[in-house]
Amino acid sequence: MSALAVTTQSPFDVAHDFAYHRDDFQALSALIYADAGIVMPEGKAMLIYSRLTKYLRDRAVSTFAQYIDLLNRDPQERRRAISALTTNHTKFFRENHHFEHFARDVRPGLIRRALGGGRVRMWSAGCSSGEEVYSLAMTLLGEDQVMARRIAGSDIALLASDLADHVLETGRAAIYPSIGTAEMPARLKQNWAKVEGANIVISDAVRDLVRFRQLNLLGNWPLKGMFDVIFCRNVMIYFDEPTKEKLLDRLCAKLQPGGFLYIGHSERLVGPAVRRCDPVGPTIYRKHDA
């Protein structure tokens, strides 16, 4: 063998604390694809292993084969396992150009409507632990506290949904380490968050606008009404092409004519939604008027 030859050992060739074979990985990968649309190639085999061992320990099973058997019998355990396999990275004012666009081009019209007695609805789909929806709600309330009180008193609501229960709990608690708030504009932080020790607590005025809800984007959406703004960012990166197309088509169908869709920086509009929305900025789309 030459000195440069690299041997790559398969993760299934080594001994693990909990017996784990390629067909276990394949069964789990098929399960998360079926339940959540998330594609997990073999490169993620050890990620699956490390995220699930805690649950095997909790349920006192010693092999992945036994645990998969349990997942096929116990829907609650299955939901916990799927949640544990999601990737929930997020932060306040992530991809800030979206919030700048919203503040400049969308917010004024929505506020006019709301203060005139109209209804305004927004949705953070795949909200993770809530930083995205709170960034949006803070931007909506804005810098002027007097105006914010009028806005908060109007018919405005934000829905924040995710598949994973554990991140929704963090969102509902609305307490975050201060260290993760570096991107939060100073004035908005001053208005809408309170510093408590090493944390910030989101103000009630912002929290009252937001409702967190468990929802699988692949399943039924028992959602009444349409949305003026939908953020669905960094969720589709885990999906295959047909799942992306279908999801975008459904999101587009839930947008009001003239409504705005914001997607993640490495995502793009695909499928039938392309014919119903125009790009109006980087990864920002506006649905055609009726």
Ligand X SMILES: C[S@@+](CC[C@H](N)C(=O)[O-])C[C@H]1O[C@@H](n2cnc3c(N)ncnc32)[C@H](O)[C@@H]1O
200: which strand partners? Answer: 176, 195
Q: Which residue has the tokens 């339940």?
A: 35
CA distances from 203 to 40, 196, 225 (A): 38, 12, 27
Closer CB to ligand X, 114 or 161, in the complex: 161
What's the CA dihedral at 64, 67, 72, 76 to 10 degrees?
Answer: -140
Residue from 113, 115, 216, 274 touching ligand X (CB under 6 A): that is 216
- Nearest distance in Å: CB 127, ligand X: 6
Least Å distance between CB 33 and ligand X? 10
Handedness of CA 174, 175, 177, 179 (dihedral sign): positive
Q: Could you tell me which stretch among 60-68, 100-108, 227-235, 251-259 binds ligand X (CB under 6 A)?
A: 227-235
- The single residue among 44, 80, 94, 121 that binds ligand X, judged by CB under 6 A, is 94
Nearest residue (CB) to ligand X, 67 versus 93: 93
The answer to whether the beta carbons of residues 276 and 230 sit under 8 Å apart is: no
Assess 36 for contact with ligand X (CB under 6 A).
yes
CA angle 181, 89, 61 (to 5 degrees): 130
Listed ranges 45-53, 81-89, 250-258, 267-275: which one lies at the site for ligand X (CB under 6 A): 81-89
CA distance 286 to 141: 22
Residue 283 touches ligand X, criterion: CB under 6 A: no
Q: Can you state the angle between helices 64-73 and 75-84, rounded to 10 degrees?
A: 120
For position 200 contacting ligand X by CB under 6 A, the verdict is no
Binding segment for ligand X (CB under 6 A), chosen from 108-116, 121-129, 138-146, 270-278, is 121-129
Binding site for ligand X (CB under 6 A): 36-38, 86-90, 94, 126-128, 132, 162-164, 167, 216-218, 233-235, 238, 264
